[in-house]
Structures are given as structure tokens and as C-alpha cells.
Amino acid sequence: MSTATYGLCEAVSDLTTLFMTQPRIPANSRDTCALIINWAEEFDRKHAETDWAEIEYLEAIDRFFDQKYREWLESAPARSIRNND
């Protein structure tokens, strides 16, 4: 795992918030945690050189999350998904 930087921690926090507002989430909380950490690390790597004064951070992380969430829903076995009631 990467050394935790402020940017990485911020991405984990924001992705967690986005994930937990979705209607379907992993059935296992450890899977949720692993997905969020992996996605945050990927987002942090992709945006290591991004100047957030020029690009809107919330729009970027929202787009990133939407793409990753759709990919996860398409590839996750049905038994590993639960409704987030």
C-alpha cells in the first residue's frame, strides 16, 4: 500500500462517501474497504501532477467514481453484492 498522503486520505474519504450513497454495495465490508483503498490509490496516482486550482477536484473524483462503480457492478458476482438499505 502507498504511504498515506493527504491527497490519498482525501480520496479515501470522498470515495467512501460516494460508495455508501449507492443502492448496491459489496456484501462483505472488507471488500468495500479494499475497493475504496485501491480506487483511491489509482486516483492519487493518476492525479499526482494535477493542479487542482485549474481542475475541479469534486468533478474529477465524481467522474472517476462513476466509472469505477459501473465497472465493479458489471464484473462483481451477484452473490457478492447487497442492497444498501
pLDDT value, residue 51: 92
pLDDT value, residue 3: 55
Q: Where are the domains of the chain?
A: 13-46+56-83
**Is pLDDT at 56 greater than 90 in this prediction?**
yes
Three cell numbers, residue 35: 475497493
Burial classification of residue 43, based on how many CB atoms lie within 10 Å of its CB (0-12 exposed, 13-18 middle, 19 or more buried): buried
- What is the DSSP pairing of strand 24-26 with strand 81-83? antiparallel
Could you tell me the pTM of the whole model? 0.89
In tens, the pLDDT along 2-33 reads: 456 889 999 999 999 999 999 999 999 999 99
pLDDT value, residue 81: 87
